[in-house]
Chains A and B, each alone.
Chain A
Amino acid sequence: MFGLPLNTQLAVGFVLIVCFGLLIWWGLHFRGDEPDV
Protein backbone atom coordinates (compact mmCIF):
# COMPACT_ATOMS: atom_id res chain seq x y z
CA MET A 1 0.00 0.00 0.00
CA PHE A 2 1.26 3.51 -0.90
CA GLY A 3 4.49 2.02 -2.27
CA LEU A 4 5.70 1.22 1.25
CA PRO A 5 7.33 -2.04 2.39
CA LEU A 6 5.07 -4.26 4.50
CA ASN A 7 7.15 -3.82 7.68
CA THR A 8 6.75 -0.03 7.54
CA GLN A 9 3.01 -0.33 6.96
CA LEU A 10 2.67 -2.77 9.87
CA ALA A 11 4.87 -0.76 12.25
CA VAL A 12 3.14 2.59 11.66
CA GLY A 13 -0.33 1.01 11.52
CA PHE A 14 0.23 -0.98 14.71
CA VAL A 15 1.50 1.98 16.71
CA LEU A 16 -1.37 4.20 15.53
CA ILE A 17 -3.96 1.55 16.44
CA VAL A 18 -2.37 1.09 19.89
CA CYS A 19 -2.33 4.87 20.51
CA PHE A 20 -5.95 5.39 19.44
CA GLY A 21 -7.01 2.24 21.32
CA LEU A 22 -5.39 3.36 24.57
CA LEU A 23 -6.85 6.86 24.30
CA ILE A 24 -10.35 5.46 23.64
CA TRP A 25 -9.92 3.10 26.61
CA TRP A 26 -8.92 6.09 28.76
CA GLY A 27 -11.96 8.06 27.61
CA LEU A 28 -14.28 5.20 28.52
CA HIS A 29 -12.72 4.58 31.94
CA PHE A 30 -11.79 8.02 33.34
CA ARG A 31 -14.66 9.24 35.50
CA GLY A 32 -13.67 12.89 35.55
CA ASP A 33 -15.29 13.58 38.89
CA GLU A 34 -13.72 16.02 41.32
CA PRO A 35 -13.07 14.33 44.68
CA ASP A 36 -13.82 16.27 47.81
CA VAL A 37 -10.52 15.91 49.70
Chain B
Amino acid sequence: MSDFLTIGIIALYGIMLIGIGSWASKKIHNTEDYILAGRSLGFWVFTILMVASVCSGMTLVGVSGFGYASGWPGIWEQIFVPLAASFAIIVFGAKLHAVSKNTGYMTVEDYLAHRYESPRTVRGLAAVAGIVVSLIYLVGQYTAISLVLVWLFEIPHTTALIISAVIITVYTVIGGMYAVSWTTLIQGVILIVGVLIMAPLVIISAGGLTHINEVLASIDPNMVQPFYPSPVYAGYAFCTPEFLLSFGILLMVGLACAPHVVNNILAAKETKFFKWSPLVAFGIYAVVMFLVKFTGFGVRALVEEGKLLLPATVNTQDFAFMYGIEYAMPSMMVWAFFAVIVLAAVMSTTDRLMLTIGTLFSWDVYRNLLKPDAPDREVLKVSQVCVVIAAVVSLYLAINPPEMLAWLIWMGIGVMLATFAVPLLAALYWRRANGAGAIASMVAGLIGSGIFGYYHQFVAPLPVHFSLFALIISALAMIVFSLMTPKNSEEVLNETLTGPYIQPK
Protein backbone atom coordinates (compact mmCIF):
# COMPACT_ATOMS: atom_id res chain seq x y z
CA MET B 1 0.00 0.00 0.00
CA SER B 2 2.99 2.24 0.49
CA ASP B 3 3.42 5.15 -1.90
CA PHE B 4 4.89 8.62 -1.76
CA LEU B 5 1.56 10.41 -1.48
CA THR B 6 0.32 8.23 1.40
CA ILE B 7 3.57 8.59 3.32
CA GLY B 8 3.54 12.34 2.70
CA ILE B 9 -0.02 12.78 3.95
CA ILE B 10 0.59 10.60 7.02
CA ALA B 11 3.77 12.57 7.80
CA LEU B 12 1.85 15.86 7.48
CA TYR B 13 -0.84 14.46 9.76
CA GLY B 14 1.78 13.51 12.40
CA ILE B 15 3.38 16.97 12.18
CA MET B 16 -0.05 18.62 12.55
CA LEU B 17 -0.77 16.60 15.73
CA ILE B 18 2.58 17.56 17.25
CA GLY B 19 1.90 21.17 16.22
CA ILE B 20 -1.37 21.10 18.18
CA GLY B 21 0.53 19.66 21.15
CA SER B 22 3.03 22.51 20.93
CA TRP B 23 0.23 25.11 20.76
CA ALA B 24 -1.53 23.43 23.70
CA SER B 25 1.63 23.40 25.82
CA LYS B 26 1.54 27.23 25.95
CA LYS B 27 -1.85 27.08 27.69
CA ILE B 28 -0.64 24.84 30.51
CA HIS B 29 0.25 26.68 33.71
CA ASN B 30 -0.76 24.17 36.38
CA THR B 31 -1.96 20.58 36.95
CA GLU B 32 -5.62 21.51 36.40
CA ASP B 33 -4.74 22.84 32.95
CA TYR B 34 -2.83 19.65 32.16
CA ILE B 35 -5.39 17.14 33.48
CA LEU B 36 -8.66 18.93 32.69
CA ALA B 37 -7.75 21.57 30.08
CA GLY B 38 -8.58 24.17 32.74
CA ARG B 39 -12.22 22.88 32.70
CA SER B 40 -12.66 24.90 29.53
CA LEU B 41 -13.91 22.41 26.90
CA GLY B 42 -16.70 23.83 24.76
CA PHE B 43 -19.79 21.90 23.60
CA TRP B 44 -18.38 20.38 20.42
CA VAL B 45 -14.89 19.61 21.73
CA PHE B 46 -16.44 17.92 24.78
CA THR B 47 -19.06 15.96 22.79
CA ILE B 48 -16.61 14.70 20.19
CA LEU B 49 -14.12 13.85 22.98
CA MET B 50 -16.78 11.66 24.62
CA VAL B 51 -17.55 9.92 21.32
CA ALA B 52 -13.89 9.40 20.40
CA SER B 53 -12.95 8.11 23.87
CA VAL B 54 -15.66 5.45 23.63
CA CYS B 55 -14.78 4.74 19.98
CA SER B 56 -11.84 2.41 20.47
CA GLY B 57 -8.89 1.73 18.22
CA MET B 58 -10.47 -1.40 16.82
CA THR B 59 -13.78 0.30 15.96
CA LEU B 60 -13.40 0.37 12.19
CA VAL B 61 -11.74 -3.02 12.03
CA GLY B 62 -13.75 -4.77 14.76
CA VAL B 63 -17.23 -3.43 13.96
CA SER B 64 -17.07 -4.27 10.26
CA GLY B 65 -15.45 -7.63 11.09
CA PHE B 66 -18.28 -8.45 13.49
CA GLY B 67 -20.81 -7.45 10.80
CA TYR B 68 -18.95 -9.60 8.25
CA ALA B 69 -19.10 -12.67 10.51
CA SER B 70 -22.47 -12.36 12.29
CA GLY B 71 -24.76 -10.19 10.15
CA TRP B 72 -27.77 -8.33 11.57
CA PRO B 73 -27.95 -10.01 15.02
CA GLY B 74 -24.78 -8.06 15.85
CA ILE B 75 -26.36 -4.70 14.89
CA TRP B 76 -27.25 -4.01 18.53
CA GLU B 77 -23.59 -3.26 19.16
CA GLN B 78 -24.17 -0.14 17.03
CA ILE B 79 -26.82 1.04 19.45
CA PHE B 80 -25.23 -0.06 22.75
CA VAL B 81 -21.82 1.52 22.11
CA PRO B 82 -23.10 4.98 21.08
CA LEU B 83 -25.44 4.80 24.09
CA ALA B 84 -22.36 4.44 26.32
CA ALA B 85 -21.39 8.06 25.59
CA SER B 86 -24.95 9.24 26.36
CA PHE B 87 -25.16 7.05 29.48
CA ALA B 88 -21.86 8.47 30.80
CA ILE B 89 -23.07 12.05 30.24
CA ILE B 90 -26.58 11.60 31.69
CA VAL B 91 -26.23 9.03 34.48
CA PHE B 92 -22.73 9.88 35.72
CA GLY B 93 -21.93 13.25 34.22
CA ALA B 94 -24.85 15.57 34.92
CA LYS B 95 -24.63 15.20 38.70
CA LEU B 96 -20.84 14.77 38.92
CA HIS B 97 -20.20 17.94 36.94
CA ALA B 98 -22.64 19.98 39.00
CA VAL B 99 -21.03 18.78 42.26
CA SER B 100 -17.51 19.31 40.95
CA LYS B 101 -18.28 22.99 40.27
CA ASN B 102 -18.36 23.48 44.04
CA THR B 103 -15.84 20.89 45.16
CA GLY B 104 -13.22 21.23 42.42
CA TYR B 105 -12.69 17.51 41.81
CA MET B 106 -9.76 16.79 39.50
CA THR B 107 -10.64 13.12 38.96
CA VAL B 108 -13.63 10.85 39.56
CA GLU B 109 -11.45 9.22 42.25
CA ASP B 110 -11.53 12.60 44.07
CA TYR B 111 -15.32 12.32 44.07
CA LEU B 112 -15.31 8.70 45.30
CA ALA B 113 -12.83 9.56 48.08
CA HIS B 114 -15.02 12.50 49.20
CA ARG B 115 -18.39 10.77 48.83
CA TYR B 116 -17.26 7.59 50.63
CA GLU B 117 -15.18 9.56 53.17
CA SER B 118 -12.27 7.29 52.35
CA PRO B 119 -9.39 9.48 51.20
CA ARG B 120 -6.91 6.63 51.06
CA THR B 121 -8.44 3.15 50.59
CA VAL B 122 -11.26 3.84 48.11
CA ARG B 123 -9.14 6.39 46.22
CA GLY B 124 -6.11 4.07 46.11
CA LEU B 125 -8.10 1.02 45.06
CA ALA B 126 -10.02 2.93 42.35
CA ALA B 127 -6.85 4.58 41.03
CA VAL B 128 -4.75 1.39 40.93
CA ALA B 129 -7.60 -0.61 39.32
CA GLY B 130 -8.06 2.25 36.82
CA ILE B 131 -4.34 2.28 35.95
CA VAL B 132 -4.20 -1.51 35.44
CA VAL B 133 -7.36 -1.66 33.32
CA SER B 134 -6.32 1.39 31.25
CA LEU B 135 -2.87 -0.09 30.67
CA ILE B 136 -4.33 -3.38 29.41
CA TYR B 137 -6.70 -1.47 27.15
CA LEU B 138 -3.82 0.71 25.95
CA VAL B 139 -1.79 -2.32 24.84
CA GLY B 140 -4.78 -3.34 22.71
CA GLN B 141 -4.87 0.12 21.11
CA TYR B 142 -1.17 0.00 20.21
CA THR B 143 -1.66 -3.44 18.70
CA ALA B 144 -4.47 -1.99 16.55
CA ILE B 145 -2.31 0.94 15.42
CA SER B 146 0.53 -1.34 14.44
CA LEU B 147 -1.87 -3.57 12.45
CA VAL B 148 -2.92 -0.55 10.42
CA LEU B 149 0.60 0.80 9.88
CA VAL B 150 2.06 -2.59 8.94
CA TRP B 151 -0.74 -3.08 6.42
CA LEU B 152 -0.41 0.42 4.99
CA PHE B 153 3.36 0.73 4.69
CA GLU B 154 4.51 -2.89 4.79
CA ILE B 155 7.01 -1.93 7.50
CA PRO B 156 8.00 -4.16 10.45
CA HIS B 157 5.53 -4.38 13.33
CA THR B 158 8.05 -2.89 15.83
CA THR B 159 8.89 0.11 13.64
CA ALA B 160 5.20 0.83 13.16
CA LEU B 161 4.59 0.73 16.91
CA ILE B 162 7.53 2.97 17.75
CA ILE B 163 6.64 5.62 15.12
CA SER B 164 3.05 5.89 16.33
CA ALA B 165 3.99 5.81 20.02
CA VAL B 166 6.51 8.65 19.58
CA ILE B 167 3.98 10.91 17.82
CA ILE B 168 1.19 10.29 20.36
CA THR B 169 3.51 10.54 23.37
CA VAL B 170 5.03 13.84 22.21
CA TYR B 171 1.74 15.68 21.82
CA THR B 172 0.17 14.15 24.93
CA VAL B 173 3.16 14.89 27.18
CA ILE B 174 3.59 18.50 26.09
CA GLY B 175 -0.06 19.41 25.57
CA GLY B 176 -1.98 17.33 28.17
CA MET B 177 -5.78 17.44 27.99
CA TYR B 178 -5.78 20.53 25.73
CA ALA B 179 -3.82 18.59 23.11
CA VAL B 180 -5.80 15.37 23.60
CA SER B 181 -9.17 17.12 23.26
CA TRP B 182 -8.28 19.32 20.27
CA THR B 183 -6.49 16.56 18.37
CA THR B 184 -9.51 14.37 19.12
CA LEU B 185 -11.86 16.98 17.65
CA ILE B 186 -9.84 16.97 14.43
CA GLN B 187 -9.48 13.17 14.44
CA GLY B 188 -13.21 12.80 15.12
CA VAL B 189 -14.20 15.09 12.25
CA ILE B 190 -11.82 13.25 9.89
CA LEU B 191 -13.29 9.90 10.98
CA ILE B 192 -16.93 11.03 10.61
CA VAL B 193 -16.44 12.69 7.20
CA GLY B 194 -14.31 9.78 5.98
CA VAL B 195 -16.85 7.12 6.93
CA LEU B 196 -19.74 9.17 5.52
CA ILE B 197 -17.95 9.29 2.16
CA MET B 198 -16.38 5.84 1.99
CA ALA B 199 -18.90 3.45 3.54
CA PRO B 200 -21.72 4.27 1.06
CA LEU B 201 -19.30 3.66 -1.83
CA VAL B 202 -18.52 0.15 -0.52
CA ILE B 203 -22.23 -0.58 0.06
CA ILE B 204 -23.09 0.61 -3.50
CA SER B 205 -20.24 -1.40 -5.03
CA ALA B 206 -21.60 -4.50 -3.26
CA GLY B 207 -24.98 -4.00 -4.98
CA GLY B 208 -26.85 -1.89 -2.40
CA LEU B 209 -28.29 -2.81 0.99
CA THR B 210 -31.26 -4.81 -0.35
CA HIS B 211 -29.00 -7.05 -2.45
CA ILE B 212 -26.50 -7.40 0.42
CA ASN B 213 -29.26 -8.55 2.79
CA GLU B 214 -30.50 -11.08 0.23
CA VAL B 215 -27.00 -12.54 -0.01
CA LEU B 216 -26.69 -12.65 3.81
CA ALA B 217 -30.05 -14.48 4.04
CA SER B 218 -28.83 -17.02 1.49
CA ILE B 219 -25.81 -17.84 3.69
CA ASP B 220 -27.95 -18.33 6.82
CA PRO B 221 -31.52 -17.00 7.14
CA ASN B 222 -30.75 -16.04 10.74
CA MET B 223 -28.15 -13.53 9.52
CA VAL B 224 -30.97 -11.08 8.74
CA GLN B 225 -32.90 -11.77 11.95
CA PRO B 226 -32.64 -9.51 15.04
CA PHE B 227 -30.90 -12.29 17.02
CA TYR B 228 -29.76 -15.90 16.75
CA PRO B 229 -31.83 -18.64 18.43
CA SER B 230 -30.64 -20.37 21.62
CA PRO B 231 -28.71 -22.58 22.07
CA VAL B 232 -25.72 -21.44 20.00
CA TYR B 233 -25.43 -23.68 16.92
CA ALA B 234 -22.33 -22.14 15.27
CA GLY B 235 -19.33 -20.04 16.24
CA TYR B 236 -20.70 -16.90 14.55
CA ALA B 237 -24.22 -17.36 15.98
CA PHE B 238 -23.48 -16.30 19.57
CA CYS B 239 -25.80 -13.24 19.58
CA THR B 240 -28.70 -14.98 21.33
CA PRO B 241 -31.25 -12.84 23.24
CA GLU B 242 -29.66 -13.63 26.63
CA PHE B 243 -26.15 -12.88 25.34
CA LEU B 244 -27.34 -9.61 23.79
CA LEU B 245 -28.79 -8.51 27.13
CA SER B 246 -25.46 -9.00 28.93
CA PHE B 247 -23.59 -7.56 25.92
CA GLY B 248 -25.79 -4.44 26.06
CA ILE B 249 -25.10 -3.86 29.76
CA LEU B 250 -21.41 -4.52 29.22
CA LEU B 251 -21.00 -2.05 26.37
CA MET B 252 -23.34 0.70 27.55
CA VAL B 253 -22.46 0.76 31.26
CA GLY B 254 -18.95 -0.76 31.12
CA LEU B 255 -17.62 1.72 28.58
CA ALA B 256 -19.43 4.61 30.28
CA CYS B 257 -17.70 4.04 33.62
CA ALA B 258 -14.24 3.41 32.13
CA PRO B 259 -11.77 5.91 33.68
CA HIS B 260 -10.74 7.37 30.30
CA VAL B 261 -14.39 8.09 29.45
CA VAL B 262 -16.01 9.23 32.70
CA ASN B 263 -13.13 11.54 33.66
CA ASN B 264 -13.85 13.66 30.53
CA ILE B 265 -16.98 14.88 32.32
CA LEU B 266 -14.95 17.09 34.64
CA ALA B 267 -13.29 18.92 31.74
CA ALA B 268 -16.56 20.32 30.31
CA LYS B 269 -16.95 24.06 30.75
CA GLU B 270 -20.66 24.18 31.63
CA THR B 271 -23.25 21.73 33.00
CA LYS B 272 -25.81 23.00 30.48
CA PHE B 273 -23.84 21.24 27.70
CA PHE B 274 -25.24 18.02 29.15
CA LYS B 275 -28.72 18.87 27.87
CA TRP B 276 -28.07 18.08 24.23
CA SER B 277 -24.64 16.45 24.11
CA PRO B 278 -26.14 12.96 24.83
CA LEU B 279 -28.40 13.23 21.75
CA VAL B 280 -25.68 14.70 19.53
CA ALA B 281 -23.10 12.09 20.65
CA PHE B 282 -25.55 9.22 20.10
CA GLY B 283 -26.75 10.53 16.72
CA ILE B 284 -23.28 11.08 15.26
CA TYR B 285 -21.81 7.87 16.62
CA ALA B 286 -24.78 5.69 15.65
CA VAL B 287 -24.75 6.93 12.03
CA VAL B 288 -21.01 6.29 11.71
CA MET B 289 -21.19 2.87 13.34
CA PHE B 290 -24.22 1.70 11.32
CA LEU B 291 -22.36 2.64 8.13
CA VAL B 292 -19.22 0.78 9.23
CA LYS B 293 -21.33 -2.25 10.10
CA PHE B 294 -23.07 -2.15 6.70
CA THR B 295 -19.61 -2.08 5.12
CA GLY B 296 -18.90 -5.40 6.87
CA PHE B 297 -22.19 -6.80 5.50
CA GLY B 298 -21.25 -5.55 2.02
CA VAL B 299 -17.82 -7.17 2.09
CA ARG B 300 -19.41 -10.47 3.16
CA ALA B 301 -21.73 -10.27 0.15
CA LEU B 302 -18.78 -9.49 -2.16
CA VAL B 303 -16.83 -12.46 -0.77
CA GLU B 304 -19.80 -14.83 -1.07
CA GLU B 305 -20.28 -13.80 -4.71
CA GLY B 306 -16.59 -14.41 -5.43
CA LYS B 307 -15.87 -10.76 -6.26
CA LEU B 308 -13.46 -10.25 -3.39
CA LEU B 309 -11.02 -12.53 -1.57
CA LEU B 310 -9.95 -11.88 2.03
CA PRO B 311 -6.67 -13.26 3.43
CA ALA B 312 -7.08 -16.81 4.73
CA THR B 313 -6.02 -16.10 8.31
CA VAL B 314 -7.57 -16.83 11.69
CA ASN B 315 -8.81 -13.23 11.88
CA THR B 316 -10.11 -13.01 8.28
CA GLN B 317 -13.03 -10.82 9.37
CA ASP B 318 -10.66 -8.10 10.67
CA PHE B 319 -9.63 -7.36 7.09
CA ALA B 320 -13.22 -6.71 5.93
CA PHE B 321 -13.16 -2.90 6.16
CA MET B 322 -9.72 -2.46 4.62
CA TYR B 323 -10.36 -4.81 1.71
CA GLY B 324 -13.84 -3.38 1.17
CA ILE B 325 -12.41 0.13 0.75
CA GLU B 326 -9.64 -1.23 -1.46
CA TYR B 327 -12.24 -2.91 -3.69
CA ALA B 328 -14.51 0.12 -3.94
CA MET B 329 -11.79 2.74 -4.37
CA PRO B 330 -8.58 1.67 -6.05
CA SER B 331 -7.40 5.29 -6.40
CA MET B 332 -4.18 6.13 -4.56
CA MET B 333 -5.49 9.57 -3.65
CA VAL B 334 -8.33 7.95 -1.69
CA TRP B 335 -5.93 5.55 -0.07
CA ALA B 336 -3.90 8.33 1.48
CA PHE B 337 -7.10 9.83 2.87
CA PHE B 338 -8.25 6.48 4.16
CA ALA B 339 -4.93 5.90 5.94
CA VAL B 340 -5.43 9.10 7.91
CA ILE B 341 -9.02 8.12 8.80
CA VAL B 342 -7.98 4.78 10.26
CA LEU B 343 -5.12 6.35 12.18
CA ALA B 344 -7.47 9.05 13.50
CA ALA B 345 -9.79 6.36 14.86
CA VAL B 346 -7.05 4.41 16.60
CA MET B 347 -5.07 7.37 17.95
CA SER B 348 -7.98 9.23 19.55
CA THR B 349 -8.49 6.61 22.28
CA THR B 350 -4.79 5.91 22.76
CA ASP B 351 -3.85 9.46 23.78
CA ARG B 352 -6.78 9.70 26.21
CA LEU B 353 -5.79 6.41 27.86
CA MET B 354 -2.18 7.57 28.29
CA LEU B 355 -3.29 10.84 29.87
CA THR B 356 -5.69 8.94 32.16
CA ILE B 357 -2.90 6.71 33.46
CA GLY B 358 -0.69 9.78 34.03
CA THR B 359 -3.52 11.55 35.85
CA LEU B 360 -4.52 8.62 38.07
CA PHE B 361 -0.93 8.09 39.19
CA SER B 362 0.21 11.69 39.57
CA TRP B 363 -2.94 13.08 41.18
CA ASP B 364 -4.53 10.17 43.03
CA VAL B 365 -1.52 8.06 43.98
CA TYR B 366 1.41 10.51 44.14
CA ARG B 367 -0.26 13.76 45.23
CA ASN B 368 -2.99 12.33 47.46
CA LEU B 369 -1.46 9.15 48.86
CA LEU B 370 2.33 9.33 48.70
CA LYS B 371 3.27 13.02 48.96
CA PRO B 372 0.35 15.29 49.96
CA ASP B 373 2.62 18.35 50.27
CA ALA B 374 4.00 18.01 46.72
CA PRO B 375 3.96 21.39 44.92
CA ASP B 376 1.79 21.74 41.83
CA ARG B 377 4.74 21.92 39.41
CA GLU B 378 6.05 18.62 40.79
CA VAL B 379 2.66 16.88 40.29
CA LEU B 380 2.57 18.19 36.73
CA LYS B 381 6.06 16.79 36.04
CA VAL B 382 5.13 13.41 37.58
CA SER B 383 2.05 13.31 35.35
CA GLN B 384 4.15 13.95 32.23
CA VAL B 385 6.72 11.31 33.25
CA CYS B 386 3.86 8.82 33.86
CA VAL B 387 2.49 9.38 30.35
CA VAL B 388 5.93 8.48 28.96
CA ILE B 389 6.21 5.43 31.24
CA ALA B 390 2.68 4.31 30.24
CA ALA B 391 3.71 4.57 26.57
CA VAL B 392 6.96 2.64 27.13
CA VAL B 393 5.34 -0.14 29.20
CA SER B 394 2.41 -0.63 26.82
CA LEU B 395 4.78 -0.47 23.84
CA TYR B 396 6.93 -3.18 25.41
CA LEU B 397 3.85 -5.34 26.07
CA ALA B 398 2.56 -4.79 22.52
CA ILE B 399 5.95 -5.74 21.02
CA ASN B 400 6.44 -8.73 23.37
CA PRO B 401 2.85 -9.76 24.08
CA PRO B 402 2.50 -12.11 27.06
CA GLU B 403 0.58 -15.31 26.33
CA MET B 404 -2.44 -14.05 28.22
CA LEU B 405 -2.57 -10.68 26.39
CA ALA B 406 -5.46 -11.44 24.04
CA TRP B 407 -7.47 -12.74 26.99
CA LEU B 408 -6.59 -9.70 29.11
CA ILE B 409 -7.64 -7.22 26.40
CA TRP B 410 -10.88 -9.11 25.90
CA MET B 411 -11.36 -8.94 29.69
CA GLY B 412 -10.73 -5.16 29.74
CA ILE B 413 -14.25 -3.72 29.41
CA GLY B 414 -15.73 -6.52 31.54
CA VAL B 415 -13.35 -5.68 34.38
CA MET B 416 -14.21 -1.97 34.06
CA LEU B 417 -17.91 -2.80 34.34
CA ALA B 418 -17.54 -5.14 37.31
CA THR B 419 -15.13 -2.86 39.19
CA PHE B 420 -16.41 0.69 38.68
CA ALA B 421 -20.11 0.57 37.76
CA VAL B 422 -21.55 -0.34 41.17
CA PRO B 423 -19.38 1.97 43.36
CA LEU B 424 -20.08 4.90 41.03
CA LEU B 425 -23.82 4.31 40.61
CA ALA B 426 -24.33 3.63 44.33
CA ALA B 427 -22.29 6.72 45.26
CA LEU B 428 -24.45 8.96 43.12
CA TYR B 429 -27.90 7.52 43.80
CA TRP B 430 -27.99 5.54 47.07
CA ARG B 431 -27.53 7.45 50.34
CA ARG B 432 -26.96 4.26 52.31
CA ALA B 433 -23.89 3.26 50.23
CA ASN B 434 -20.67 3.74 52.19
CA GLY B 435 -16.90 3.19 52.02
CA ALA B 436 -17.00 -0.41 53.25
CA GLY B 437 -19.56 -1.24 50.58
CA ALA B 438 -17.49 0.50 47.89
CA ILE B 439 -14.29 -1.37 48.83
CA ALA B 440 -16.15 -4.69 49.00
CA SER B 441 -17.88 -4.15 45.65
CA MET B 442 -14.66 -3.14 43.87
CA VAL B 443 -12.72 -6.12 45.27
CA ALA B 444 -15.62 -8.53 44.59
CA GLY B 445 -15.99 -7.16 41.04
CA LEU B 446 -12.29 -7.55 40.30
CA ILE B 447 -12.04 -11.08 41.72
CA GLY B 448 -15.41 -12.10 40.24
CA SER B 449 -14.48 -10.96 36.74
CA GLY B 450 -11.17 -12.83 37.00
CA ILE B 451 -12.91 -16.06 38.05
CA PHE B 452 -15.83 -15.93 35.59
CA GLY B 453 -13.66 -14.62 32.74
CA TYR B 454 -11.22 -17.50 33.28
CA TYR B 455 -14.06 -20.02 33.52
CA HIS B 456 -15.65 -18.81 30.27
CA GLN B 457 -12.37 -18.78 28.37
CA PHE B 458 -10.65 -21.91 29.67
CA VAL B 459 -13.26 -24.19 31.28
CA ALA B 460 -16.72 -23.93 29.66
CA PRO B 461 -18.47 -21.14 27.75
CA LEU B 462 -21.10 -19.20 29.71
CA PRO B 463 -24.51 -18.39 28.12
CA VAL B 464 -24.09 -14.68 28.89
CA HIS B 465 -21.05 -12.40 29.04
CA PHE B 466 -18.95 -13.25 32.11
CA SER B 467 -19.04 -9.67 33.38
CA LEU B 468 -22.75 -9.93 34.19
CA PHE B 469 -22.03 -12.48 36.94
CA ALA B 470 -19.20 -10.31 38.32
CA LEU B 471 -21.48 -7.25 38.23
CA ILE B 472 -24.16 -9.04 40.25
CA ILE B 473 -21.58 -10.13 42.84
CA SER B 474 -20.25 -6.58 43.00
CA ALA B 475 -23.78 -5.20 43.59
CA LEU B 476 -24.49 -7.79 46.30
CA ALA B 477 -21.21 -6.93 48.05
CA MET B 478 -22.13 -3.23 47.96
CA ILE B 479 -25.57 -3.84 49.47
CA VAL B 480 -24.49 -6.31 52.17
CA PHE B 481 -21.39 -4.41 53.37
CA SER B 482 -23.10 -1.01 53.27
CA LEU B 483 -26.06 -2.21 55.33
CA MET B 484 -23.75 -3.91 57.87
CA THR B 485 -21.75 -0.73 58.53
CA PRO B 486 -22.72 2.88 59.46
CA LYS B 487 -23.78 5.27 56.66
CA ASN B 488 -21.75 8.31 55.65
CA SER B 489 -22.32 11.70 57.26
CA GLU B 490 -25.39 13.66 56.17
CA GLU B 491 -23.17 16.67 55.49
CA VAL B 492 -21.14 14.81 52.83
CA LEU B 493 -24.26 13.19 51.35
CA ASN B 494 -25.85 16.63 50.96
CA GLU B 495 -22.67 18.21 49.56
CA THR B 496 -22.45 15.47 46.94
CA LEU B 497 -26.17 15.69 46.05
CA THR B 498 -26.52 11.98 46.81
CA GLY B 499 -30.00 10.55 46.26
CA PRO B 500 -32.30 8.91 43.70
CA TYR B 501 -32.34 11.90 41.33
CA ILE B 502 -30.09 13.42 38.67
CA GLN B 503 -30.77 17.06 39.43
CA PRO B 504 -32.26 18.52 42.62
CA LYS B 505 -35.78 19.95 42.35
Contact = CB atoms under 8 A, between A and B. Distances in A.
A3 B226 contact: no
A30 B214 contact: no
A21 to B, nearest CB: 10
Given A3-B210, A8-B225, A20-B279, A32 B271 contact: yes
A30 B225 CA distance: 36
A4 B217 CA distance: 9
Given A7-B226, A33-B503, 15 more contacts: A2-B213, A3-B210, A8-B224, A11-B226, A12-B75, A19-B282, A20-B279, A20-B282, A26-B90, A27-B278, A32-B274, A33-B271, A37-B494, A37-B495, A37-B497
Contact of B279 (A4, A15, A27): A27
B502 interface: yes
Interface string B196-227: 00000000000001111110010000001110
Name B's interface SS.
Answer: helix
29 contacts: A2-B210, A3-B213, A3-B217, A4-B213, A5-B224, A5-B225, A8-B72, A8-B225, A12-B226, A15-B76, A19-B286, A23-B278, A26-B275, A26-B279, A27-B279, A30-B90, A30-B275, A30-B503, A32-B270, A32-B271, A32-B273, A33-B271, A34-B101, A34-B271, A35-B98, A35-B504, A37-B99, A37-B494, A37-B495
Interface of B: 72, 75-76, 79, 83, 86, 90, 94, 98-99, 101-102, 209-214, 217, 224-226, 270-276, 278-279, 282-283, 286, 494-495, 497, 502-504
Contacts of A19: 79, 83, 282, 286
Given A23-B278, A26-B278, A32-B275, A4 B497 contact: no
Contacts of A34: 98, 101, 270-271
Q: Sort A-B residue pairs by CB-CB distance and give the 9 closest, nearest first.
A: A32-B272, A3-B213, A23-B279, A3-B210, A11-B226, A2-B209, A34-B101, A3-B214, A27-B276
